[in-house]
Amino acid sequence: MPAIPGIKIKEKVSVMDPNNLACIQKVKFIFDFFEKREWQPGEEPPLNSVIKSTVKPGDIKKLGEFLSWRMDRISQMMDILLSAHDKWAVTGKRDKVLMETASWDFNDAIKLLKEHGFNDDEFILKVEYERKWGVL
C-alpha cells in the first residue's frame, strides 16, 4: 500500500467491504487549478510572481505554461477516473474541479492514478465514512 502523506496507515490496511450495508464511504477528489498540494524544494508557485508584485512578461508566460500543464494533468486524471468508474458527481468551481462518489473505494482510485504516473501532490483526497443512521 503506498503511503499517503499526512495519513498514518497501520501495517494491515482494512479496505471497506463493498457489501457493507451499515457504512457508506464518501470519496472526494479535489483538483485545484492554480496550486499543487505540496511544492517540491526549488519549485515556486507561479501565482507568487504575479500576485501583489511587479509583473514581468516572463512571469505571465510561466503562469500560462504552468496552467496549460496543470489543466492537461487534471483532464488526464479525470479521464482515468471516469473511465474506471461511471458514478461520479463532477462539479466545476472557480478554481477547482470536484469529483465525488460513494460507490468506489478510494484505494482503487489512488492505485489507478499512481499506475498512470500521477503523484499525491497533484490532487487532494477527502474520505468520509458515514453510518446509515449518522456520521461516524
Phi, psi of 21 (to 5 degrees): -90, -10
pLDDT of residue 85 exceeding 60, the answer is yes
| pLDDT for 17 | 54
| pLDDT for 92 | 96
Q: Considering the chain, what is the average pLDDT of its residues?
A: 81
The per-residue pLDDT for range 2-58, each reduced to its tens digit, is 444 443 333 333 345 555 556 788 999 999 988 766 777 877 777 777 887 888 898
Q: What percent of the chain has pLDDT over 70?
A: 79
How far apart (Å, rounded) are the C-alpha atoms in residues 130 and 70?
A: 32
Q: What cell was used for 112?
A: 489507478
* Residues facing 90 on adjacent strands: 99
Cell 499543487 belongs to residue = 36
Q: Which of 36, 65, 44, 95 is nearest to 57 (CA)?
A: 65
Q: Could you give the 3-state DSSP secondary structure of residue 54? A: coil
Domains, in order of start, for the chain? 23-135 (3.30.70)
